[in-house]
């Protein structure tokens, strides 16, 4: 029997109250806001994002919502869309178990919340509602060929977040979903080579806010859009689990699995970078003294790899072509690990077109070797936890090994979110500005107007 997913989601989200959400879940949502704001601020300084801001200025649209890091305002639809795109620019956005969420839910909730003069509690309630739905739909689609960051499920959570802040009732929320999810947005992976990759969330955020606004005005949508055999899910995914989309809503809080990323690269690589950098720092290892690096990784990490000649060819094309960006290198298995070990860090500085063409770096690629551990794939799929180990062999015969069971920043190995805020905004904000953002985020639930927070951005 088909489960009435659209109705169940709409009923739950429209009725959710701030008081229904556990304190720990609220705390995780506040940390998520800080982590995503940090990622947006970092992305806002990237050259490829500047045309987005120029387009907003040219449109001269309604100035109701903050465009983060750009010292300007735009309509809630356009501000939400652009902030969402920029959140993904450096592959530095967070995720919940099995799905990236924050690049969609946080920009959406901030933009709509500011436009409708929402309180901090209303903002957080909508944000958590979106996270809960996004985390579940992402896991429901995980056995498809599109999953985690490539999963185009955000038209669902985008309509829920915006609809909640616009005060939609159950039927209006169903309409918002019906509008937002038609037509369904997917992607062509060639676009990941260019700045358009952020539209994975940016496009759906615009669609979700639009759908919620139209529903509030009385426009109708198909109210079984998610579960219908000819609906959203079937149009994109070859396999999905409708029951997973609504299982334990309101009791098993997916927001509790919030996992901010410390590095601008694919999350499957984070535990490997953790292990390598920890060893380099603990033993004062100079990369020049390394004879080899043996990497214990999940199978999927190897799928992100390329032979050295193809990787170097890709690097050369990126360096010479103005519409290509370094996004593919965030997902390559060798490049982030190699450059992190050489530079002692992994930040946007390691992905400039000047840095990626270093011949010494290319030669270091040969020293990195992978050994696949399929059990780590199971752990990633079931728990959303990235694990991996690194053995560094020195030319003098000394060996050092570290295995990271859960990447730093994961919900099973949490960090102080101020660390990410500092790394992302080191050359953008002063310490006082960072402290103001951190302190304000901790008080969001006490704010009468969420604009008290967005004014800092």
pLDDT in single tens digits along all 457 residues of the chain: 689 999 999 999 999 999 999 999 999 999 999 999 999 999 999 999 999 999 999 998 899 999 999 999 999 999 999 999 999 999 999 989 878 999 999 999 999 999 999 999 999 999 999 999 999 999 999 889 898 889 999 999 999 999 999 999 999 999 999 999 999 999 998 999 999 999 999 999 999 999 999 999 999 999 999 999 999 999 999 999 999 999 999 999 999 999 999 999 998 899 999 999 999 999 999 999 999 999 999 888 877 788 999 999 999 999 999 999 999 999 999 999 999 999 999 999 999 999 999 999 999 999 999 998 888 887 777 787 899 999 999 999 999 999 999 999 999 999 999 999 999 999 999 999 999 999 999 999 999 999 999 999 9
Q: Give the number of residues written for the chain.
A: 457
Cis peptide before 183 (omega within 30 of 0): yes
Q: How many CB atoms lie within 10 A of CB 155?
A: 29
Strands (E), 35-145: 65-67, 72-74
What whole-number distance in Å separates Cα of residue 456 and Cα of residue 76? 17
pLDDT at 381 (0 to 100): 74
CB 46 within 8 A of CB 160: no
pLDDT at 153 (0 to 100): 97
What whole-number distance in Å separates Cα of residue 311 and Cα of residue 385? 27
pLDDT at 13 (0 to 100): 98
- What are the chain's domains? 5-260+419-454 (1.10.4100.10), 267-404 (3.30.1330.120)
What whole-number distance in Å separates Cα of residue 336 and Cα of residue 333? 7
The contacts of residue 400 (CB under 8 Å, 6+ apart) are: 279, 282, 283, 285, 391, 392, 394
CB 44 within 8 A of CB 198: no
Report phi then psi at 290, rounded to 5. Answer: -85, 130
Q: How far is CA 164 from CA 63, 122, 417, in A?
A: 21, 8, 27
What whole-number distance in Å separates Cα of residue 122 and Cα of residue 101? 19
Phi-psi region of 384 (alpha: psi -120 to 50; beta: other; left: phi over 0): left
What whole-number distance in Å separates Cα of residue 103 and Cα of residue 85? 8
Helix (H, G, I), strand (E, B), or coil: what is residue 67?
A: strand
CA angle 421, 423, 428 (to 5 degrees): 80
pLDDT at 4 (0 to 100): 98
DSSP string, 179-236: HHTSSPP---GGGGGSGGGGHHHHHHHHHHHHHHHHHHTT----TTTTTSTTSHHHHH
Report phi then psi at 386, rounded to 5. Answer: -95, 125
């Amino acid at each position: 029997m088909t489960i009435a997913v659209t109705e169940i989601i709409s009923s739950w989200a429209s009725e959710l109250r701030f008081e229904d959400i556990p304190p720990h879940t609220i705390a995780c949502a506040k940390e998520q806001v800080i982590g995503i704001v940090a990622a947006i601020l970092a992305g806002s300084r990237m050259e490829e994002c500047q045309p987005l801001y120029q387009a907003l200025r040219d449109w001269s649209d309604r100035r109701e919502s903050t465009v983060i890091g750009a010292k300007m305002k735009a309509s809630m639809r356009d501000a939400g869309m652009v902030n969402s795109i920029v959140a993904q620019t450096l592959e530095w956005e967070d995720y919940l178990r099995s799905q990236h969420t924050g690049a969609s839910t946080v920009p959406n909730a901030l933009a709509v919340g500011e436009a409708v003069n929402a309180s901090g509690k209303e903002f957080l309630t909508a944000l958590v509602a979106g996270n809960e739905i996004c985390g579940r739909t992402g896991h429901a689609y995980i056995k498809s060929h599109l999953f985690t960051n490539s999963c185009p499920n955000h038209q669902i959570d985008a309509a829920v977040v915006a609809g909640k802040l616009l005060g939609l009732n159950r039927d209006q929320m169903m309409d918002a979903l019906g509008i937002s999810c038609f037509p369904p947005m997917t992607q062509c992976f060639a676009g990941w080579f260019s700045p358009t990759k952020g539209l994975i969330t940016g496009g759906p955020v615009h669609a979700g806010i639009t759908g919620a606004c139209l529903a509030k005005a009385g426009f109708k949508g198909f109210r079984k859009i998610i579960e219908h055999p000819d609906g959203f899910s079937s149009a994109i995914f070859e396999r999905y689990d409708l029951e997973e989309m609504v299982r334990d809503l309101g009791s098993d809080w997916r927001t509790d699995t919030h996992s901010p990323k410390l590095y601008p690269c694919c999350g499957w690589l984070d535990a490997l970078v953790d292990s390598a950098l920890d060893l380099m720092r603990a033993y004062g290892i100079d990369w020049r003294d390394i004879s080899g690096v043996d990497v214990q990784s999940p199978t999927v990490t190897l799928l992100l790899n390329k032979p050295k000649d193809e990787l170097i060819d890709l690097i050369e094309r990126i360096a010479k072509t103005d519409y290509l960006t370094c996004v593919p290198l965030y997902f390559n298995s060798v490049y982030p690990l190699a450059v992190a070990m050489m530079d002692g860090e992994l930040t946007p500085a390691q992905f400039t077109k000047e840095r990626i063409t270093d011949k010494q770096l290319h030669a270091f690629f040969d020293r990195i070797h992978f050994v696949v551990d399929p059990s780590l794939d199971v752990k990633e799929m079931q728990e959303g936890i990235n694990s991996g180990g690194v053995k560094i062999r020195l030319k003098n015969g000394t060996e050092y090994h570290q295995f990271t069971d859960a990447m730093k920043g994961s919900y099973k190995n949490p960090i102080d979110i101020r660390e990410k805020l500092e790394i992302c905004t080191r050359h953008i904000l002063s310490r006082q500005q960072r402290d103001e953002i951190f302190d304000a985020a901790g008080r969001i639930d006490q704010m009468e107007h969420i604009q008290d927070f967005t004014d800092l951005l």
